[in-house]
Structure 1
């Protein structure tokens, strides 16, 4: 194998060439160009305030939307699901306590709303594991 020596091989000339005396005045030219350009500084307090006020208004409305929706949603009336859930999780209230608090008009309203077909009633009685308990309550 032939020995390779870097100094003896022909060198490829680069395609880039700097002009003569380019770096002699380079720093002076750069400093002259920097002095020519002045940056205009606008203080924050002198800027156009309409954009910042509009942004603040948008953020304020965005924060008020959930508050307004929550205010409208809350009411003093209880819905049936909430009342049923409350009563079912309080074990110290029995069905007899509820029956004692109902008056005759409430019982009549309950009776009017309940309409069961014979097939539905039979299905409930067949699938109920506490059939004896249900029969003993009727007496």
Structure 2
């Protein structure tokens, strides 16, 4: 394969030519065109559309405040939801839960739990694994 030398190949003419003395007064023409156009500036506070958009935005924000406020309130977990969550966690057992309780929690549990004799008998009689319940 022959080596390609750029200097030896014939040059292709572009077909574009600038007129003679085009760049002599080019900067004067450009500056003249810039100074001719006077741009009319309208302050933003005088435009009716901008004022209407501002009023609409304020109304939308005012209407959204109660909606956002309702969604951001923290809702406390009820006991059933918490119990269901803990029962489906396979890596948590009763001993882990007991270990996390402090004396204040134990006292609160003792005040809230009232066992009646009949209820206790019903649970023990209906439970198929009574030995496990007795041993615990």
- The CA deviation at 1:95 is 5.5
Deviation for aligned residue 1:20? 2.0
> 1:65 — aligned with what?
67
Distance (whole Å) between structure 2 residues aligned to residue 17 and residue 60 of structure 1: 65
CA distance in 1, matches of 2:111, 2:43: 77
Counterpart residue number, 2:85: none
| Structure 1 segments unaligned to the other structure (5+ residues) | 101-106, 134-139
Match of 2:44 in 1: 44
Q: Number of residue pairs matched?
A: 107
Question: Deviation string for 1:7-34 (max 9, x for gaps)?
Answer: x654322222112221122112211211
1:37-85 per-position Cα deviation (integer Å, ceiling 9, x unaligned):
22222223323211111122222322331225668x98xxx99x35996
Structure scoring higher RCO (CA < 8 A, sep ≥ 6) equals 2
Match of 1:99 in 2: 114
Structure 2: state its 5+ residue gaps.
83-100
Q: 1:35 to 1:46 in 2, by over 3 A?
A: same
Deviation at 1:127, TM superposition (A): 2.9
Structure 1 window deviating more from structure 2 (90-99 vs 54-63): it is 90-99
| Equivalent residue, structure 2, for 1:130 | 133
TM-score, length basis structure 1: 0.50
Q: What TM-score comes out, normalization by structure 2 length?
A: 0.51
How far apart, in 2, do the equivalents of 1:43 and 1:24 lie?
Answer: 40
